[in-house]
Structures are given as structure tokens and as C-alpha cells.
Amino acid sequence: MRQLNPCESSRSILKSRLHSEPPVNALSIQPTLAVAAILALFAMFGCRPPDDRAESVPIPLSEQDALDRGEADIDPSRPADANSASKPDGADNHEARETAGRESATSDLPTEAVPLDPGPNDWPWWRGPTLNNHAAEGVDPPLRWSTEENVVWVSDVPGRGHGSPCIRGDRIFLPTAVDDDEMQLLLCYDRKTGEQLWQCELHRGEFMRMHRKNSQASATPMCDGRYVFIPMMNDEGIWLTAVDLEGNIAWQVEAGPYTSEHGYGGSPMPWKDWVLVAGDNEKTGFLAAVHRATGKIVYRITRPEEHNYGTPIAAEVAGRPQLVIPGPQKVFSYNPNNGELLWTCDGPTDRAANTPTIGRESVYVTAGYPKRKLMCIRADGNGDVTSTHVAWEFQHRREAGYVPSLLLVAQRLYMANDEGLVFCFDAKTGDELWRHDFDTAFSASPVLADGRIYLLDEQGVTFVFEESDEFNLMAKNDLQDRGYATPVPLTADGPGTPGRLYLRTEHKLWCLGERGE
């Protein structure tokens, strides 16, 4: 296991700020030299300087200049003059809070992002390489297991977190938080043995309020083969950290300021050379694109000033690239290349806490507070499409899902709600094909592998049922440890090798597979 270097915890606490130096005069020379000496020591050990909370005065930029320079912070849905209007306290101070991580390493950082080219046996980000929670063809995870049966290996996970495993090559990356010490960590495990290889301390202290069911490490990491990217709610902001594959911080930047109600759970999503990070909140909502190599903010969209917990998704849909995020109160589609607003649709309800599901021509969205609704929206519109592009919707009492994301398989759409109901719909018409009450609670999302759907409940029981227009429960597997993370189906060592299911419960990381293979 890699030992943390002496200043890693300091690096997590001491967030550097850009600030204006006072004029040097005879009375300030000695203090300035002392400060310079202290800063040199911080640089020597790879730490960030102390937080002086000084506020910078930005130089006005035109919107296009700002976008070209990677410093844009605009609301593309408003007229140009509206973007210069006043914002809530703290909304304009995020540029002063950006940091390039360890000062001694910044000059050595690459400036070009590596291609997004995951291997056939990788699960490099939330919802998998194809962003739909589908395992690759030929992946056949075990059907049955227990704490003793079909366990290839099991490892302890310190702390607590809800982020799902991120798997790239022979490594598994997992976020966690140690609440008593207020530490947020990124862990790395050997994929074949389950041995913990290293841990990287991302933040210490400055924890923020959250819902009792949430955690301080609920995002699923993203890995591009060079860095692992993980956003964390800390110190009044959402901080995105890039960690190399050996556990060293390459850079860390505040994606945007954040006011917490129930905590944070959005996962980073890939788009070209960027990482997309959302941070909806009641004061300074944002959606940011951050360059994967440098940590520079490419653009930052001003979002509605309301709490919301949806994770965006960027993909080609209806013949054009779209970045879709549910809530608050509307579904929003942007051009992921520049942040331009394409369309909005009212609904499903005030707040969402999951990820939209993308079809070839449509977007499927479910949300659950204060009401519940599932919607199918044709994605070829522009402007407000509420009255023209809603293909169908499902709203009956409180039966739509809130936290679990949907699963689209050909012409069938599967939905698990938080209270244990699972539905299968005709994706084109919205007709209900079947429903089943599992009499439990779900936070994880369903995942498809080998014609079967795997769904973990909050008690650590995974239900396996057939992908079909008729309900057929195939197995019920109990690991006797609470679970909130979505399982990851892959193979042991590439195509043609035995199937594996990598599953995180509250205290353990499991590798499940048929014994004797």
C-alpha cells in the first residue's frame, strides 16, 4: 500500500486563492520575503499555500473571448446583456479559488488530453463505457452468490461512500470518506486480487451538511487511462481532482461554488477532452466543462438557483450532440461543445436525483420530488418543447423513480423506484408491460448483462431477473451488508474469460464469479 506523503493532508486543507499583492515599500519588504520563503517550502513539498480568502477583481471579458480563453461563466439561455447582471454572494468568486494542485508539478503536466478509448473489459465511468449500463456482449456474471458462495475475493473498504467501482485495466478506483476524521479519499485496488494498492487523500476537514442517506463520497470516479477524476463536495464548493494511476494528485480545481441541502451525488461524465461536472444548488447552480489534461475551466453554464441532484449525460441523440440534465423543474439540453442551450421541457417535477437515459431519437427522464413522473421526450426540438415533443408520460400516485436511473434495452424501458417497485414499459408507447413489488428500497440502478438484469437493494440483496416483457425472477443473492452503489459486470481478463460482478457494499468491495473457473 502506498504511504501518503507528509503534506497530502495539508494539500487537502490549504486551498490556494489568487489574490492581488499590495505595492512593495520599505515597510513591507521583510514580510514579503518571509511569505516568499514560506511559499517556497510549500512548493518544495508539493503543498498548496494557506487560504487567505482574498477576493480577486476579474477583468471584464466578452463572452466569446472568455470561452476562447477557457474562462467562460455565462448563462447561454439569457441575452448577452443579462449575463452581466449581479449574482448572489460568492457566485463570481470561484475564479479566485481555482488551484493547479501541487505547484512543483504544474510545469510538468501535459497540455493535451489522451483519447477516450476504454478497452473492451473496462468500466471507466458512471453507467459504463457506452453510458447505458449495458455489459458488453459475452459478459456473463454469476447468477447466484452469497458471502461464501462464488466469491473470488472480498476486500475491506474504509470509511463510507456510495460511488460505484470505476475499473480501468488491472485497477479498481473507489471513493470513500472517513466521517470521524473528515477525510475524503480515493482508493485503488488490484483487480485480480483485491489488494488495496494505494489511497490518495483528496480533502481533510471542511465537510458540509448532507442527508442521512447520502455520503461524503457518492460520486462514481471517471478514468481516461491517464488520470482518475473525482468531484467532492468540500469547503463550500465542488472540487474536481485529477489523480494519476499511482495515486498522485495532478491538479485540483473548484468546478463551482456549492451550497448544500442534502449533500452531493453527481458523477463526472466524459465529453471529448473534457470532464463535465454539475453542481445545482439554491445560490450558485452551475454546469462546468473542465479540461482533462490541465484542469482549466473550458466553460461554466449558469444554472437555475434551486437545489437539484441530477447527473448530466452527453451523447449523440436525434442526430446532434446533446448534454442533457434533468431538473430543476425542467429537462435541459445543451450543446456540449459550447454550453449553448438547445431546448427545455417542463417536468418531470421539481427535483431529480439520477441520470437521463438516451435513446436514438428520445430522452427518458424520471424525477421524484415533490411529485413523481416519468417522461419520454423527442430530442429533435429547439426552444421550449413542452407542448410539442412529449411522446408519453407516466404519473400515478408516487410510483415513478427518484434516485435509481432508468435502463433502456431495445424497445423495453425498465424503472426501479425507491420504494421497491420495478416496472417494464414499452419504450415507444409508454404502455406498462409488467410491474413487480420487491418490498424493499432501491438506490442503485439496474444493469444489464447476458440477458439478465441485476438490481441491488439497500440491504445488500441483489435481485436478478430476466430481460423480458414478462417478469421472471431468476435469483436473489444476499451479501448481508447495506448497498447503494450500482454493480459493475465485466469479465476476469477480457473477451472469452469468465464473467465477474464487481459490487460495493457499505463496508466491502466484492469480486463475484463462478468458483473453479
Model pLDDT for residues 159-180, shown as the tens digit of each residue: 999 999 999 999 999 999 998 8
Q: What's the average model confidence in pLDDT over 376-399? A: 94
Whether residue 100 is predicted with pLDDT greater than 90 in this model: the reply is: no
Q: What is the pLDDT of residues 278-313, one digit of tens each?
A: 999 999 999 999 999 999 999 999 999 888 888 999
Report which secondary-structure segment, H or E, holds 65: helix 63-68
Residue 336: predicted pLDDT:
98
Whether residue 405 is predicted with pLDDT greater than 80 in this model: the reply is: yes
Residue 12: predicted pLDDT:
42
Task: Report d(CA 138, CA 499) in Å as an integer.
Answer: 8
Whether residue 245 is predicted with pLDDT greater than 70 in this model: the reply is: yes
Give the CA-trace dihedral at 46, 49, 55, 58, to 10 degrees.
Answer: -30
Residue 107: predicted pLDDT:
54
Phi/psi of residue 363, nearest 5 degrees: -120, 135
Residue 51: predicted pLDDT:
39
Residue 90: predicted pLDDT:
35
Residue 350: predicted pLDDT:
87
User: Higher pLDDT residue, 310 or 407?
Assistant: 407
Mean predicted lDDT score pLDDT of the chain: 83
User: Higher pLDDT residue, 259 or 467?
Assistant: 467
Q: Could you tell me what percent of the chain has a pLDDT over 90? A: 68
Q: What's the average model confidence in pLDDT over 361-380? A: 94
Cell of 232: 467532492
Residue 85: predicted pLDDT:
29
Q: Considering the domain 151-512, what is its CATH architecture?
A: 7 Propeller (2.130)
In single-letter form, the type of residue at position 430 comes to: G
The residue whose grid cell reads 447503494 is: 484
User: Higher pLDDT residue, 431 or 17?
Assistant: 431
Whether residue 345 is predicted with pLDDT greater than 90 in this model: the reply is: yes
Task: Report d(CA 503, CA 482) in Å as an integer.
Answer: 11
48-54 long-range contacts (CB < 8 A, ≥24 apart) are: 48/10, 48/11, 48/14, 48/15, 48/16, 48/99, 48/101, 48/102, 48/103, 49/14, 49/16, 50/14, 51/14, 51/15, 51/16, 51/17, 52/17, 52/19, 53/17, 54/17, 54/18, 54/19, 54/20, 54/96
Task: Report d(CA 326, CA 336) in Å as an integer.
Answer: 15
Q: Which of 512, 484, 10 is nearest to 218 (CA)?
A: 484
Cell of 116: 477516450
Q: Could you tell me what percent of the chain has a pLDDT over 70? A: 79
Whether residue 331 is predicted with pLDDT greater than 90 in this model: the reply is: yes
Q: Which of 261, 308, 257 is nearest to 284 (CA)?
A: 257
Phi/psi of residue 65, nearest 5 degrees: -60, -40
Provide the 10 A C-beta neighbour count for residue 142. Answer: 22
Provide the 10 A C-beta neighbour count for residue 210. Answer: 18
Residue 22: predicted pLDDT:
34
Cell of 291: 479540461
Q: Which of 353, 370, 338 is nearest to 267 (CA)?
A: 353
Residue 63: predicted pLDDT:
37
Phi/psi of residue 11, nearest 5 degrees: -60, -30
* Contacts of 8 by beta carbon, 8 Å cutoff, 6+ apart: 200, 201, 249
Sheet strands side by side (includes 461-466): 447-449, 452-456, 461-466, 473-478
Residue 319: predicted pLDDT:
97
Provide the 10 A C-beta neighbour count for residue 48. Answer: 24
Q: Which of 168, 164, 155 is nearest to 512 (CA)?
A: 155
Whether residue 201 is predicted with pLDDT greater than 70 in this model: the reply is: yes
Q: What's the average model confidence in pLDDT over 56-82? A: 37
Task: Report d(CA 480, CA 98) in Å as an integer.
Answer: 42
CB of 392 closer than 8 Å to CB of 430: yes
Length in residues, the chain: 517
Residue 9: predicted pLDDT:
40
Q: Is the dihedral of CA 254, 231, 265, 367 positive or negative?
A: positive
Q: Which of 468, 393, 403, 464 is nearest to 434 (CA)?
A: 468
User: Higher pLDDT residue, 187 or 102?
Assistant: 187
CB of 352 closer than 8 Å to CB of 365: yes
Q: According to the 3-state scheme, what is the secondary structure of 451-474?
A: CEEEEECCCCEEEEEECCCCCCEE
Residue 199: predicted pLDDT:
97
Residue 136: predicted pLDDT:
96
Residue 516: predicted pLDDT:
58
474-478 long-range contacts (CB < 8 A, ≥24 apart) are: 474/143, 475/143, 475/144, 477/144, 477/145, 477/146, 478/146, 478/147
Q: What is the pLDDT of residues 436-458, one digit of tens each?
A: 999 999 999 999 999 999 999 99
The pTM of the full predicted model, rounded to 2 decimals, is 0.82
Ranked by mean pLDDT, the top range of 63-67, 404-408, 493-497 is 404-408
Whether residue 393 is predicted with pLDDT greater than 60 in this model: the reply is: yes
Residue 177: predicted pLDDT:
95
